[in-house]
Amino acid sequence: MKELLNELLEKAKSNKKGLIMLKECAVRCQQFELAANLRELENNFPEPAEVKEATKYASDIQTALAMADIRPIDKKVCWLIGKVVEKHSKVKGKLSLKDIAEIVSKQEELFINVT
């Protein structure tokens, strides 16, 4: 059993989404010390350049919205708003469900650890 748990932990170390799910499971089981250790691993997980760019883009949108006195909106939502507006302009208002699904899917991929 210990070998299987160790194998699970090793696999989670290479998959941020899996690591987050494992941490959430530890919290639900009230294993707070384990959850804290998993959180430390999560925070040290290397962040891809694409995620850094998405976070910067979302921060810029968040700042613009705050300047218009629209707050608080989290970065995940700000990124989504920005990308939907971009796509809307690009297709001249003829957004399709496929376009929106692609944007939402990308958002979920980039912001997996943002609530």
Residues 33 and 61 occupy one common structural domain: no
Question: What pLDDT does residue 93 have?
Answer: 86
Question: What pLDDT does residue 7 have?
Answer: 87
Question: What pLDDT does residue 113 have?
Answer: 63
Residues 63 and 102 occupy one common structural domain: yes
Residues 25 and 63 occupy one common structural domain: no
> Would residue 115 count as lying in a domain?
no
Question: What pLDDT does residue 114 have?
Answer: 57
Residues 17 and 69 occupy one common structural domain: no
Residues 32 and 65 occupy one common structural domain: no
Domain count, the chain: 2
Residues 34 and 61 occupy one common structural domain: no
CA 96 centroid distance within chain: 24
Domain that holds residue 23: 2-43
Q: Cβ–Cβ contacts within 10 Å for residue 85, how many?
A: 11
What averages of pLDDT result for each successive group of 10 residues across the chain (115 residues)?
Answer: 85 83 92 92 85 91 92 89 94 92 93 66
Question: What pLDDT does residue 115 have?
Answer: 46
Burial class (CB in 10 A: 0-12, 13-18, 19+), 45: middle
